[in-house]
Amino acid sequence: MDYVLYEHHDRHVAVITLNRPERLNALGSQMRQELEEALQMAARDPDVRVAIIAGAGRSFCAGADVKEWAAGTPPISQPREATQLLNEYGTPDVIKPLIAAVHGHCLGAGLNLVATRCDIRIAGQSALFGMPEVARGTIDLTTPFALEGLSRAFLSELLFTGDPVTAERAYEAGLINAVVPDDEVMAAAVRMAERIALHSPAAVRATKLNLLKTFEATAAAEVWEQRLRERVSGSDETREGMQAFVEKRSPQWEQDGR
Instruction: Specify if 247 maps to a domain.
Output: no
Q: With respect to residue 239, please indicate whether it lies within any of the assigned structural domains.
A: no
Query: Is beta strand 178-180 parallel, antiparallel or unpaired with respect to 128-130?
Result: unpaired
Residue 233: what pLDDT?
67
pLDDT value at residue 241: 73
> 248 in a domain, yes or no?
no
Q: Give me the pLDDT at residue 71, please.
A: 66
Question: From its phi and psi, is residue 172 left (phi > 0), alpha (psi between -120 and 50) or beta?
Answer: alpha
User: What are the pLDDT tens digits along the chain (258 aa)?
Assistant: 899 999 998 889 999 999 999 999 999 989 988 998 999 899 889 999 999 999 999 999 999 887 786 666 665 554 444 445 445 444 444 589 999 999 999 999 899 888 988 999 999 999 999 999 888 787 776 766 666 778 989 999 999 999 999 999 999 999 999 999 999 999 999 999 999 999 999 999 989 988 888 877 776 666 667 777 677 666 777 777 767 777 778 888 775 555
Residue 153 sits in which domain range?
4-182+200-214
Confidence (pLDDT) at 246: 76
Q: Are 107 and 128 spatial neighbours (Cβ–Cβ below 8 Å)?
A: yes
Instruction: Return the pLDDT at 90.
Output: 42
CA distances from 137 to 78, 141, 254 (A): 17, 14, 11
Q: Is residue 254 part of a domain?
A: no
User: Under DSSP, is residue 109 helix (H, G, I), strand (E, B) or coil?
Assistant: helix
- pLDDT, residue 146, reads 67
pLDDT value of residue 79: 45
Query: CB burial class (10 A; 0-12, 13-18, 19+) of residue 79?
Result: buried
The number of distinct structural domains making up the chain is 1
- Cβ atoms 1, 81 nearer than 8 A: no
Determine, yes or no, domain membership for 238: no
Could you give the C-alpha distances from 143 to 42, 53, 180, in angstroms and in order?
Answer: 25, 21, 27
Task: Say how far apart CA 233 and CA 44 lie, in whole Å.
Answer: 35
Which are the contacts of 216, defined by CB distance < 8 A and separation ≥ 6? 147
Confirm whether 50 is domain-assigned. yes
pLDDT on residue 70: 63
Partners of 216 in beta bridges: none
Does any domain span residue 28? yes
Residue 52 lies in a domain: yes
Residue 109: which CATH number? 3.90.226.10
